[in-house]
């Protein structure tokens, strides 16, 4: 019984510390938003992943990083896309 209580307390502590951990009341939209934010920030923060994505997009790494950060700072939408603004 003590282990179950300890596990529950640990889960509550993690949920309070990390926003994306989720809880039973988390909606699918909130969960997807957290996944998108985690993915985009991870790509922007890890140079090898950023280089890989930049190569796949045929775009300079700094432009891709700026675009990822711009998407992260924008208001969450129903669909998150990395739209390229070719003018």
**Residue 19 — φ and ψ, nearest 5°?**
-65, -40
- Flag whether 18 is in a domain: no
- CB half-sphere exposure, 52, CA atoms < 13 A: 8
| Span 56-82, pLDDT tens digits | 999 999 999 999 999 888 877 665 566
- Flag whether 4 is in a domain: no
| Span 8-43, pLDDT tens digits | 888 888 878 877 677 778 888 888 888 888 899 999
Residue 80: what pLDDT? Answer: 59
Question: How far from chain centre, in Å, is Cα 35?
Answer: 4
* Separation CA 60–CA 51 (nearest Å): 8
- Flag whether 81 is in a domain: no
Share of the chain above pLDDT 70, in %: 84
Tokens 């890989």 correspond to 52
Residue 87: what pLDDT? Answer: 46
Q: How many domains does the chain have?
A: 1
Q: Which pair of structure tokens corresponds to residue 29?
A: 């939209």
């Amino acid at each position: 019984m003590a282990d179950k209580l300890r596990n529950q307390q640990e889960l509550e502590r993690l949920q309070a510390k990390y926003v994306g951990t989720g809880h039973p009341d988390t909606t699918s939209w909130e969960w997807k938003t957290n996944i998108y934010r985690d993915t985009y920030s991870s790509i922007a923060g890890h140079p090898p992943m950023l280089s890989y994505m930049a190569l796949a997009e045929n775009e300079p790494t700094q432009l891709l990083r700026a675009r990822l950060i711009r998407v992260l700072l924008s208001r969450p939408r129903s669909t998150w896309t990395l739209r390229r603004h070719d003018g």
